[in-house]
Structure 1
Amino acid sequence: MKKVYSHCNNHHHQKQFNTRTRTRQHNHHSHSHSHSQYQNIRLQNLLLLHSLLLIIVTPALCNVHQPLLNLKSNNQTLRSNLELLKLRRIRAHLAKINKPALKTIQSPDGDLIDCVLSHQQPAFDHPNLRGQRPLDPPERPKGYKNKNNGKMEMKSFQLWSDSGEECPNGTIPIRRTKEEDVLRASSIRRFGRKHVRRDSTGNGHEHAVVFLNGDQYYGAKANINVWTPRVTDQYEFSLSQIWVIAGSFGFDLNTIEAGWQVSPELYGDSNPRFFTYWTTDAYQATGCYNLLCSGFIQTNNRIAIGAAISPRSTYNSKQFDIGLMVWKDPRHGHWWLEFGSGLLVGYWPATMFSHLRSHASMVQFGGEIVNSRSRGYHTGTQMGSGHFAGEGFRKAAYFRNLQIVDWDNNLLPLSNIHQLADHSNCYDIRQGSNNVWGHYFYYGGPGRNVRCP
């Protein structure tokens, strides 16, 4: 670029030099042979043409390069302005979901757990819920057996509580969302949402599940084995959960979901985390994970939704599972969530839903992964323990004590069960039942292998 500018600045001198050269050449050859004169004229013409070209082209070059440089700096300015705008939007979004804390607890895994006043939680930003207060605990389903109140067990269920710190009464623990969490998402609008379009069986989502349909369901319960499956791509996840479903798999699908998941995009690490999800329009515009939008009302000051679960199961060694129950309160009609042994986490208000306002038409238990095929072949993301169902206890992941809740608030064993492993060479499932575990199944797999290319 510098050469062009020095050339532009010397353009006038170049013209003078060319004129002087032509004059000297003309004087020197004025008395020569006519052939020489002819050559001279030809040379002069060429020189003149060269000069004319210089006169025409050089300023054009000067004028072209100047805007190019301006364009480059304008692009840089535009880019930095866009980045600033994005950062401002992210900070505005964080200000909306990160509520003022009475106390903040540092978790060993780097999470910050904010103790937020119960009535200031994100749920109450929703226009339908504004000004409300959390409800009292509902009546448990009949046939519910709770051997203890879970207080002793609770200490070791989540990593952040290993610090020995607790959130005061009247507050709820909320995992703080950081700038880098939102920056990992494909967009601010999609942050905290499942990347599912229309039918959840499409779009790279693969399942190994058992399900019931054809009746009216008012809840589901199971113990879910917790592992740390490997997720090979930042935008993939591996989860194990209960689904409570109503509506069609078109645009009106209603779901309530709870379980554990490994999601590097959402959490920035590979820890299995307790999570919830809901949607009323097939994952289009409503709903989110955890408390990342208004909807779920938390009532518990000891469980942080989205926080890492500890301990976890290890292959051929100690096994660990978590109890989960989702059921509809017969009195108010809201869908409540219980975690561990008898600890109520909170509820999804019935008014948030269309179809689930009355009951569920399907209940599903099992695993789900995302296969993005980012390397051109099937993902190596594991489901469950990363081992096939056939390996059994201590090696394959399991669900046990599967039950559903009926219209009269009774906990019942499963009947008319279907199973689905939509990519059984990658992840499979095997059911069974006995007196100790009730209805159970093993499920999962390694993803990519010789039979799953």
Structure 2
Amino acid sequence: MASCCCKISSIVPLFVFFLLVSSPIHTARETDDPHAKNQTLRPQEELQKLKISPDGDVIDCVLLRHQPAFDHTQLKGRKPLVPPERPNGHNPKRMMMAAEDFQLWRRSGETCPEGTIPIRRTTEQDMLRASSVASFGKKSAKLVRRDTTNDGHEVGATELVVYFSLLREEVGYVSGDEYYGAKASINVWAPNVTNQYEFSLSQLWVISGSFGDDLNTIEAGWQVSPELYGDYYPRFFTYWTSDAYQATGCYNLLCSGFVQTNNKVAIGAAISPTSSYGGGQFDISLLVWKDPKHGNWWLEFGSGILVGYWPSFLFTHLRDHASMVQFGGEVVNSSPGGSHTSTEMGSGHFASEGFGKASYFRNLQVVDWDNNLIPLPNLKVLADHPGCYDIQGGINAVWGNYFYYGGPGRNVKCP
């Protein structure tokens, strides 16, 4: 899943070598018996605690039918769906790195038995960091992002009333057509986040509806969020909303909605390894696409690892298609001391520093109406405060559509 890129040049590498996750994964310790892999959990084993992860997480193996998604009235009593056909043109490469190497909790060879999924345990401390129980695991509606089309809106977000804060964004996007999915490889770093009330993330957005109360989004990527997780590890995350972050949706599996089908990926768990400045570069591949038969939106993490799906009934506009796809980075600026935050985006370095120093997105694609994975038509890039964080796009034969982005936040050029 994680891939390693060797440094070739300071701008665009001519050749990139990737170490990718293998889908054949070695069996869990609790199923070392060759006859055990087809066994199911007995009732008394419905919740099975794994040992604590190196990052302090406790991962529980929960029966598929007992995951939060099935608390939803429209899912009660149902079974997870069979995975659909991938988009045409999607050819996962043979993966060479063991899957346990891309998340810290897998480092000791742990996994969950078939018929269960791994869920990061929510602790009392996690809840206490939230401003309220109702807001735990949710983005604030005050952080609603603005439209990136040329209609007079600024890229970024509305002002945060409580902290007088702003979202800062550097994004590449396509709009003006019907989109049925998106794919990208996203460079993973561990950016500095100044305080508990800020975050730094890199993700893709599948968007429909207006940027008002009816905004529908599906989101996936990596984030550093000390408020949500209690630490500064970059973590794989998902998000969804159907009403502009007001009442619906949540991060990861913290509410009913996303249906996880995979027993080897823990949503919300730390990603490892990460990229280093001037050293090894690692990225994760994400694919979100709409199943043409049932209309649900599926998520693939890495090369061929299906994580699960967002049922179509969760949405209004996204029941049909997306009208915009965005890729990029985002930070919250809480203006500590009245100055711009020093929270970093991506690697914490500007796009002009190029490969090995700046963060990147590569191989940007969308899914068309006929379930074909195609290169981005007319990729546009925008930066709302280029003195703080910036972005530079390009295209070549190795990376397809790509861009470098990020920055340090507060500096002499950042107002």
TM above 0.5: yes
Please tell me whether residue 214 in structure 1 is matched to residue 176 in structure 2.
yes
Residues 1:153 and 1:196: Cα distance change in structure 2 (over 3 Å): farther
- Give CA deviations for 1:210-236 in whole Å, capped at 9, x if unaligned: 111100000000000000000001110
Please tell me whether residue 183 in structure 1 is matched to residue 128 in structure 2.
yes
Please tell me whether residue 352 in structure 1 is matched to residue 314 in structure 2.
yes
Q: Percent identity?
A: 69
Q: How big is the shift at 1:151? A: 7.7
- Give CA deviations for 1:88-133 in whole Å, capped at 9, x if unaligned: xxxxxxxxxxx96234232111100000001100000011211111
Which of 411, 415, 420 is the matching residue for 2:373?
A: 411
**Residue aligning to 2:104:** 159
Q: Which amino acid aligns with 1:401?
A: N
Q: Which amino acid aligns with 1:329?
A: D
Residues 1:425 and 1:100: Cα distance change in structure 2 (over 3 Å): farther
**Residue aligning to 1:399:** 361
**Residue aligning to 1:243:** 205
Residues 1:372 and 1:100: Cα distance change in structure 2 (over 3 Å): farther
Aligned length, in residue pairs: 354
Secondary structure in 1 aligned to 2:364?
A: strand
Q: How big is the shift at 1:171? A: 0.3
| 1:198–1:251 contact (8 Å) kept in structure 2 | no
* CA distance in structure 2 between the aligned counterparts of 1:151 and 1:123, rounded to whole angstroms: 32
Q: Which amino acid aligns with 2:62?
A: V
Secondary structure in 1 aligned to 2:142?
A: coil
Which of 152, 159, 169 is the matching residue for 2:114?
A: 169
Which of 365, 375, 393 is the matching residue for 1:431?
A: 393
Considering fraction of residues, name the structure with more strand.
Answer: 2
* CA distance in structure 2 between the aligned counterparts of 1:356 and 1:251, rounded to whole angstroms: 14
* CA distance in structure 1 between the aligned counterparts of 2:379 and 2:403, rounded to whole angstroms: 12
Q: How big is the shift at 1:451? A: 1.1
**Residue aligning to 2:290:** 328
Residues 1:437 and 1:151: Cα distance change in structure 2 (over 3 Å): closer
- Give CA deviations for 1:236-271 in whole Å, capped at 9, x if unaligned: 000000000000011000000000000000000000
| 2:199–2:225 contact (8 Å) kept in structure 1 | yes
Alignment of 1:21-32 (within 5 A): none
Secondary structure in 2 aligned to 1:187?
A: coil
**Residue aligning to 1:109:** 55
Considering fraction of residues, name the structure with more helix.
Answer: 1
| 1:198–1:250 contact (8 Å) kept in structure 2 | no
Which of 36, 42, 64 is the matching residue for 1:118?
A: 64
Q: Which amino acid aligns with 2:100?
A: K
Residues 1:107 and 1:199: Cα distance change in structure 2 (over 3 Å): closer
Please tell me whether residue 422 in structure 1 is matched to residue 356 in structure 2.
no
**Residue aligning to 2:27:** none
Q: How big is the shift at 1:198? A: 6.9
* CA distance in structure 1 between the aligned counterparts of 2:50 and 2:143, rounded to whole angstroms: 39
| 1:237–1:263 contact (8 Å) kept in structure 2 | yes
Q: Which amino acid aligns with 1:137?
A: P
Which of 399, 402, 407 is the matching residue for 1:445?
A: 407
| 1:388–1:446 contact (8 Å) kept in structure 2 | yes
**Residue aligning to 1:68:** none
| 1:192–1:288 contact (8 Å) kept in structure 2 | yes
Please tell me whether residue 258 in structure 1 is matched to residue 220 in structure 2.
yes
* CA distance in structure 1 between the aligned counterparts of 2:337 and 2:256, rounded to whole angstroms: 36
Secondary structure in 2 aligned to 1:326?
A: strand
Which of 220, 231, 245 is the matching residue for 1:283?
A: 245
| 2:170–2:329 contact (8 Å) kept in structure 1 | yes
| 2:143–2:167 contact (8 Å) kept in structure 1 | no
Structure 2 stretches lacking a partner, 5+ long: 1-44, 146-156, 160-165
Larger RCO: Structure 1 or Structure 2 (Cα < 8 Å, ≥ 6 residues apart)? Answer: 2
Which of 172, 191, 195 is the matching residue for 1:229?
A: 191
Consecutive aligned runs of 4 or more in structure 1 exceeding 4 Å deviation:
none
Q: Which amino acid aligns with 1:295?
A: G
* CA distance in structure 2 between the aligned counterparts of 1:292 and 1:105, rounded to whole angstroms: 21
Residues 1:277 and 1:151: Cα distance change in structure 2 (over 3 Å): farther
Secondary structure in 1 aligned to 2:101?
A: coil
| 1:326–1:335 contact (8 Å) kept in structure 2 | yes
* CA distance in structure 2 between the aligned counterparts of 1:447 and 1:283, rounded to whole angstroms: 26
Structure 1 stretches lacking a partner, 5+ long: 1-98
| 1:197–1:282 contact (8 Å) kept in structure 2 | no
| 1:367–1:384 contact (8 Å) kept in structure 2 | yes
Residues 1:138 and 1:401: Cα distance change in structure 2 (over 3 Å): same
* Greater Rg by CA: 1
Q: How big is the shift at 1:416? A: 1.9
* CA distance in structure 2 between the aligned counterparts of 1:336 and 1:198, rounded to whole angstroms: 26
| 1:226–1:321 contact (8 Å) kept in structure 2 | yes
Secondary structure in 2 aligned to 1:327?
A: strand
- Give CA deviations for 1:277-328 in whole Å, capped at 9, x if unaligned: 0000000010000000010000000000000000000000000000100000
| 1:328–1:334 contact (8 Å) kept in structure 2 | yes
**Residue aligning to 1:375:** 337
**Residue aligning to 2:280:** 318
**Residue aligning to 2:21:** none
Q: Which amino acid aligns with 2:261?
A: T
Secondary structure in 1 aligned to 2:412?
A: coil
| 159-168 or 189-198: bigger deviation | 189-198
Q: Which amino acid aligns with 2:231?
A: D
* CA distance in structure 2 between the aligned counterparts of 1:369 and 1:341, rounded to whole angstroms: 28
Which of 128, 134, 138 is the matching residue for 1:193?
A: 138
Q: Which amino acid aligns with 1:356?
A: L
- TM-score by length of structure 2 reads 0.84
